[in-house]
Amino acid sequence: LDSFPVLLNDEEFQSHENDVLDLNPFDGLPYSTNYYQLLRERKTLPVWQAKEDFVVAVEESSVVLVTGKAGSGKSTQIPQWCTQLAKETDFSFGTVVCTQPVATAAMSLAVQVAQEMDFTSVGNEVGYKVHQQDCASEDTVLKFTTDEILLREMSDDPLLQKYSFVIIDEIQERTVSTDILLALLKIILNLREDLKVILVSLIQEMPTLEEFFEGVPIVDLHFLDEAAASDENDDPEISEKEITSLVLNLHSDQDLEGDILVLLPTAADVEETCDRIAREIAMKTLRGDAGEAAVVRLHRCLAYGAQQAVYDKKANFGDGDLINRRIVVCDDIAESCFSMENITVVIDTGVKFEKVFNTRFRTYSNIKQYISQASASLRMDRCQAGGKLYKLYDHVHFEETASEQSIPEIKRFELTTEVLLMKRLLQRLNVSLTQCQLLEAPDPEAYMLALEELDYHGALDENGNLSDLGMVMSEMPLSLAEAKVVIASCGEGCTQEIVTIIAMQKCSDLFVVPPGLESKAAVCRRSMTHKAGDHFTFLNIFYRFARHKRSESWCNANYVSYDALKMADKKRSEILEVMEILELPVSEPVIEPQLMETSVKKALLAGYFMQIARDTDGCGNYHIIRDKHISRLHPDCGLVNSRPEWVIYNKFELTENSYLSTVSPVDPEWIAEIVPHSYLTNLPTNEAKDTLLYLAERYRGNAGGIEDEEQNNFKPNEIRK
């Protein structure tokens, strides 16, 4: 512990404030006054009471488990301690990386830790790397990132030799990437004696992790805390309006100090409730019935900058007056990814929408259900000692029906892209898939569907290993279908168009519809609609955005999101950079409109051939040919009035009114030419299958008889040539 310059007692504080300041061992500069002020605050965190236990555990074991309540300081202090330990050997075994399940959490932690380590900016000694943002350098010794990004890094560094410490934080989130990362780390630990792995999670996950890593030490940060008082409301049907009334009544209570936290099921609920609370508080303030308050929204759909508002200890309001009360309205992101101080009231609806992959229809459903009992405990921990907790659900029914833990993503998500990446990484480690042990087995149907889809796309060879094509697709930060489309575009000569379409598909909330301007927004949207299909509408919008020099004012005038288009622009550049690294040719834009449409649609078919539908009756009832399900075009689809017979689509929404969205018409003869024959023969028996098989046989006959792999014609080496 003598090597830790940050571990000071109170007497040492006084001497450092009045004497010569210590030098920061990382940059050689004297510590600032702000450093010591932050250090005082850090020493009050519960994690500091276990620092000696942690250091001893790291010295004695390659794997250390750490558990504690939210706000105990795990996410900020443990990475710093690991960096100090790595510094003792002058980083000869590597630097430190810390993963988070959410990109915005990685970014905010990097900013906070850089300040605590007395660095003036992020990107040098402390940095972060998330999708489309790499704020790290060769000087970075502590990097925050997401578990998915770290998996991608393993493509070039399978043993993670760049790092001496790997910290996996918030394991209780149990993303697919987290589970795969844990499985690979268990293999790597047998190949690297110098690697230290720190696993940080809630107490509920500790037995599973301890068994998985076979009896490793646990540093427990749970200490005796005064429990928050619980004022329970057993009405499970309380409306959003009643939540607003409860918040207003609490805010009007002059005896209540501190901030109010409201937990709701969805981002849409958060936005609507925030607007309602803000309006009501403004009216009460004008009447003099209540003081001012800052209403802060926090949910997973918000950009990083907007999410950081939750850290404002005092918020500016109106004319700049400081307000001491915040009302934070959020979804489940607040359970663990953000630390919030001064919360004295927690209002918990106890409900969430769980995203679950339907293996029958190969699409996701959002299922409304209770949060888990572990999540309920997390939410309770957000409340300060002596505070109030309002549970807006039937407590008895909750205890009887709610699961103890949330279902891991690996048991409820589609797995094709993850299995592709996992196969690549295991091949780099010379380990078979059957030898890889996961924390929990994936959903068997989803796993088999993933292998089937990999096979149809030509990603596997006859031995079940990745083919050359599969290796190239696994290098791309895209889904399997998207990667196949990009590679196909190289052969069709339309890479510029396809890369733009793929990037635009990643945008959420592309169209902006301000209240009261719905008709004007609809007119603008129709003016940008392309008759060739929704994919070409994306091209239209991006090209106009580019022609107007990526102007924010143009976006506002045309009711499209400037932030969404900026993100698409970044994603487009990212894909083109990866293509350059993989030595895939990038063609010039196609000038002739008809040729461009044909080339783009053929490339799209190469990747989305499992997403083909046919209008069975001429009335807009589309039959999804792979599973016989009937759907209709989404009302926002540009083809909703023309209703072409054969279409490809990006998304199938399994709701009360099932819809296809992002749709473009295709020629059935192209389907016969491009789609693997093995896929067509395995389709359910119906008229569409008979038609396509007939066209396929005719095409194969004209082509002199070709095999599936020749029909696909996507051999990476030939494409490079």
Q: What's phi and psi for 6, nearest 5 deg?
A: -85, -10
All residue ranges of the chain with pLDDT < 50 are: 1-19, 224, 315-320, 709-711, 713, 716, 719-721
Q: Minimal CA–CA distance to 390: which of 285, 249, 203?
A: 249
Angle made by CA atoms 440, 96, 105, in degrees to the nearest 5: 65
CA 631, CA 620: separation in Å to the nearest integer? 8
In a domain, 35, yes or no: yes
CA 437, CA 453: separation in Å to the nearest integer? 22
Domain stop point among 220, 252, 281: 220
**Are 35 and 134 in a shared domain?**
yes
Residues 6+ apart with CB under 8 A from 584: 472, 486, 487, 490, 495, 716, 719, 720
**Are 24 and 80 in a shared domain?**
yes
Token digits of residue 506? 């990643």
**Are 103 and 171 in a shared domain?**
yes
In a domain, 167, yes or no: yes
**Are 234 and 205 in a shared domain?**
no
Provide the domain limits for residue 56: 10-220
Token digits of residue 245? 């009334």
**Are 141 and 264 in a shared domain?**
no
Per-residue pLDDT at 196: 98
**How far apart, in Å, are the Cα atoms of 643 and each of 214, 275, 511, 601, 654?**
59, 39, 23, 17, 20
Q: Minimal CA–CA distance to 329: which of 367, 292, 302, 369?
A: 302
Per-residue pLDDT at 320: 45
Per-residue pLDDT at 232: 59
In a domain, 575, yes or no: no
**Are 160 and 37 in a shared domain?**
yes
In a domain, 705, yes or no: no
In a domain, 186, yes or no: yes
Q: Kind of pairing, strands 659-665 and 630-633?
A: parallel
Q: Minimal CA–CA distance to 311: which of 332, 340, 334, 345?
A: 340
CA 72, CA 639: separation in Å to the nearest integer? 54
**Are 196 and 261 in a shared domain?**
no
**Are 171 and 238 in a shared domain?**
no
Per-residue pLDDT at 215: 84
In a domain, 720, yes or no: no
pTM of the model: 0.88
In a domain, 526, yes or no: no
**Are 181 and 273 in a shared domain?**
no
For residue 298, what is the domain's CATH number? Answer: 3.40.50.300
**pLDDT tens, 164-202?**
999 999 999 999 999 999 999 999 999 999 999 999 998
**Are 382 and 273 in a shared domain?**
yes
**Are 265 and 320 in a shared domain?**
yes
**pLDDT tens, 67-119?**
988 888 999 999 999 999 999 999 999 999 999 998 989 999 999 999 999 99
In a domain, 466, yes or no: no
Per-residue pLDDT at 202: 87
Per-residue pLDDT at 18: 46
Q: Minimal CA–CA distance to 163: which of 188, 183, 182, 146?
A: 188
Count of domains forming the chain: 2
Q: Minimal CA–CA distance to 245: which of 276, 283, 282, 285?
A: 276
CA 207, CA 548: separation in Å to the nearest integer? 57
Domain stop point among 351, 386, 409: 409
The answer to whether 95 and 126 have CB atoms below 8 angstroms apart is no
Per-residue pLDDT at 61: 96
Residues 6+ apart with CB under 8 A from 526: none
Per-residue pLDDT at 632: 95
The answer to whether 647 and 639 have CB atoms below 8 angstroms apart is yes
Per-residue pLDDT at 706: 54
Domain stop point among 379, 409, 439: 409
**Are 210 and 242 in a shared domain?**
no
Type and span of the H or E element at 390: strand 388-391
The answer to whether 267 and 300 have CB atoms below 8 angstroms apart is yes
